[in-house]
Structure 1
Amino acid sequence: MVIRIRGYALPHGEYVDLYADGDRWTTDPVPNAELVAEGWLLPGLVDAHTHPGAAEPGDPLDEDLLRDDLRLHVDAGVTLIRSPGLAGQPPEWFGTDPELPRASHAGPWLAQRGQFFDGWGNRVEHADLPGVAAAQAKRSGWAKIIADWRLDDEAVPVDVLTAVAEAVHGVGGRVAVHTQHAAGSTAAVRAGVDSVEHGMWLDQDLLPDMAAKGIALTPTLSGFQDMVTGLGDRPDGPAKDWLLGGTEAHGPLVAAAAEARVLVLAGTDSRPHGQVATEVRALAAAGMRPHDALGAASWSAREYLGLKGLEPGAPADAVVYARDPRTDLGLLAEPLAVILRGRRVRPSVTG
């Protein structure tokens, strides 16, 4: 069955009439195409920081759970994910299954010894980190470095991260860096990595440098806000102060990043999955324009990850809404249709 959608396409808001020619959009009419939805069109939602496939930190990758988690993303209108760190190398169907989102990934995390969750990721010596990261990025396009972890842990030095970035870029890959400390985020930006993940305690003075270098920020803002709600019963001390203070500054950081023209990406981090709309609302509440907050989970993120939007020749993904979701971000929970690879997957054709 050939499908057709029409309506006002974001980000430009112009009226379009699109037909799915296999897995590509075309404006050329296709005989007997079925009009499956019309309204306001987005080129699919994107979760740019998600770790599906493991129930608890340290658990091995579970293929059945991975499928379940990815179905939750599709239910939420997500047609593309980036997973900067997985509990293991993913199965061959990851990112290609016709019922599940397209995907890019960084394989297992790369961390310093004594840091990160036990059972997850690979512990790599500084001297070996550039080569290991480049090998991973050559396989999957991305490598993910845990630059820092607990409050008193030493961050990966800037010279090491610089060597990592150079090695990964040398094979045509990109580097994502987890950081929740000032030292780690400073090292990541000065090294010229491709994305800063979380970025709690990132110095706002670094934002112009990030914008100039094209370094994206994925703050996973809603995840930190949820975590803080459970800190009330913890004993007072430096660790609690670090988490509370960093989270308090996180929203203003996001607003300042957007103002500085840093590309902000929407990511939800861990469980539960299928919550990218919550992250979009958190970004807007922090001070991003609704247009830009939505772009962080749609057209801007797709472009950053190498996919075009709603135009001829682009991958045939879309989410359709009854009204302009920028006027009410709550509409993100109510898609009329989700189109993935030229097929309507939500609601299903039969239901």
Structure 2
Amino acid sequence: MVVRVRGRALPHGEYVDLYADGDRWTTDPVRNVEAVVEGWLLPGLVDAHTHPGVEVPGEPLDDLMLRDHLRQHVDAGVTAIRSPGLAGEPPDWFGADPDLPRAWHAGPWLAQHGQFFDGWGRRVDHDEMAAVASAQAVRTGWVKIIGDWSSAGVPVPVDVLTGVVDAVHAVGGRVAVHTQQAGGGAAAVAAGVDSVEHGMLLEPELLTRMAEQGTALTPTLHGLQQVLPEVLRRDDSPGKRWFVEGARVHASLVAAAAEAGVRVLAGTDSLPHGRIMDEVRALAAAGMRPHDALAAASWDARAYLGLPGLEPGAPADAVVYAEDPRTDLDQLDHPIAVVLRGRLVRGGH
């Protein structure tokens, strides 16, 4: 099927008329067009923090569930995902199936002994972490470190994280770090990691350094906000106080990060899959401009993954809306068409 898309394209808002020539956009007419889609065009959405293929922490990766979760992403207009941590080695079709999103992943989570969910990830000694991380990055391009865990776990020391970053960067990979403690966040930023995942309780004075060194923030804001009411109902404990303190100020941290020039990436980290629009709305409600909240889930996130936007030669992904989603973020709930790898996988005519 040859697909043609035309309309106002974000981020610039100018009119474009593109043909899918295989998996590449071109302005040159392609014969035998079978589908023409018109509207407001985004170059495909991105969920930069999602763990498909499992629903209960500690359970193994389920291939059928993985495929179902990825279909839910596509239905929402998500044409690329980053999975910073998977419950198992993905099947060969992961990231390559023409009907499912492009995918980047970090393999199993790497954690300190005694931390993270039992049955998931790999526990690694400090003196082995750089070598293990480097080997993972050679295989998949990314590695994910559990920099701290819950309220009481001691964070990975900054010198260990620095060694990981140096080793992974030496082989051309990138490092994502889970952190929800101030100390863990400070260590991640000092080590120069590529992305901070969650970043709860991150000290605001670190944001300028993050922007300067190119460390992205994936705040998973909506997911944390969803959990907060349930945590508030729990009996008082140090863990409850830790989570409530961080979750209550997380929106203001996101706004400050955007203001400081930190690259913010939209990621859900929650069930059900295919709800990236909830994170975009949460980012906007926190104080990001709707344009920038959309960028975090589309063109800017794609650039972070090395994917150009709606231009000749770029991968042929697009999600199409009836109206400008910047003026009405609820448009994200109603894509009229999704084009993935040059194929119309939802809607159109």
Is the shorter-chain TM-score for this pair beyond 0.5, marking a shared fold?
yes
- The CA distance in 1 between the partners of 2:233 and 2:244, in whole Å, is 13
Q: State the Cα distance separating 1:237 from its structure 2 match.
A: 2.1
Partner of 2:26: 26
- The CA distance in 2 between the partners of 1:122 and 1:170, in whole Å, is 22
- The CA distance in 1 between the partners of 2:282 and 2:242, in whole Å, is 21
Residue identity matched to 1:230? E
- The CA distance in 2 between the partners of 1:36 and 1:54, in whole Å, is 36
Partner of 2:218: 218
Partner of 1:146: 146
User: 5 Å matches for 1:101-140?
Assistant: 101-140=101-140
Partner of 1:285: 285
Does residue 266 (structure 1) correspond to residue 266 (structure 2)? The answer is: yes
Q: Secondary structure at the match of 2:235?
A: coil
- The CA distance in 1 between the partners of 2:31 and 2:136, in whole Å, is 45
Q: State the Cα distance separating 1:231 from its structure 2 match.
A: 1.6
Q: Secondary structure at the match of 2:232?
A: coil
- The CA distance in 2 between the partners of 1:110 and 1:135, in whole Å, is 12
Q: Secondary structure at the match of 1:325?
A: coil
Partner of 2:81: 81
Q: State the Cα distance separating 1:239 from its structure 2 match.
A: 1.2
8 Å contact 2:36–2:348 — kept in the other structure?
A: no
Query: Unpaired segments of 5 or more residues in structure 2?
Result: none
Q: State the Cα distance separating 1:229 from its structure 2 match.
A: 1.5
8 Å contact 1:80–1:101 — kept in the other structure?
A: yes
**TM-superposition CA deviations, 1:195-229 (whole Å, max 9, x none):** 00000000000000000000000000000000002
Q: Secondary structure at the match of 2:227?
A: helix
Partner of 1:196: 196
Partner of 1:249: 249
- The percent identity for this pair of structures is 70
Does residue 336 (structure 1) correspond to residue 325 (structure 2)? The answer is: no
Q: Secondary structure at the match of 1:104?
A: strand
Q: Secondary structure at the match of 1:51?
A: coil
Q: State the Cα distance separating 1:152 from its structure 2 match.
A: 1.2
- The CA distance in 2 between the partners of 1:291 and 1:3, in whole Å, is 27
Partner of 2:308: 308
**TM-superposition CA deviations, 1:7-30 (whole Å, max 9, x none):** 000000010000000000000011
8 Å contact 1:195–1:218 — kept in the other structure?
A: yes
**TM-superposition CA deviations, 1:237-266 (whole Å, max 9, x none):** 221111111001100000000000000000
**TM-superposition CA deviations, 1:5-64 (whole Å, max 9, x none):** 100000000100000000000000112323431010000000000000012000000000
TM-score (norm 2): 0.99
TM-score (norm 1): 0.98
User: 5 Å matches for 1:141-180?
Assistant: 141-180=141-180
Partner of 1:323: 323
- The CA distance in 2 between the partners of 1:345 and 1:300, in whole Å, is 23
- The CA distance in 1 between the partners of 2:61 and 2:182, in whole Å, is 31
How many pairs align? 349
Q: State the Cα distance separating 1:289 from its structure 2 match.
A: 0.3
8 Å contact 1:195–1:216 — kept in the other structure?
A: yes
Runs of 4+ aligned residues of structure 1 deviating over 6 Å after TM superposition are none
Residue identity matched to 2:94? F
Partner of 1:233: 233
8 Å contact 1:83–1:104 — kept in the other structure?
A: yes
Residue identity matched to 1:244? V
User: 5 Å matches for 1:66-77?
Assistant: 66-77=66-77
- The CA distance in 1 between the partners of 2:112 and 2:175, in whole Å, is 16
Residue identity matched to 2:88? G
- The CA distance in 2 between the partners of 1:208 and 1:120, in whole Å, is 34
8 Å contact 1:61–1:87 — kept in the other structure?
A: yes
- The CA distance in 1 between the partners of 2:188 and 2:281, in whole Å, is 27
Partner of 1:98: 98
**TM-superposition CA deviations, 1:93-133 (whole Å, max 9, x none):** 10000010000000000000110001000000000000000
8 Å contact 1:52–1:270 — kept in the other structure?
A: no
Per the alignment, do residues 348 and 112 of structure 1 end up closer, same or farther by CA in structure 2, a change over 3 Å counting? farther
Q: State the Cα distance separating 1:232 from its structure 2 match.
A: 2.9
Residue identity matched to 2:138? K
Residue identity matched to 2:256? A
**TM-superposition CA deviations, 1:66-86 (whole Å, max 9, x none):** 000000000100000000000
- The CA distance in 1 between the partners of 2:19 and 2:223, in whole Å, is 37
- The CA distance in 2 between the partners of 1:35 and 1:295, in whole Å, is 27
Q: State the Cα distance separating 1:324 from its structure 2 match.
A: 0.2
- The CA distance in 2 between the partners of 1:54 and 1:70, in whole Å, is 12
8 Å contact 2:37–2:348 — kept in the other structure?
A: no
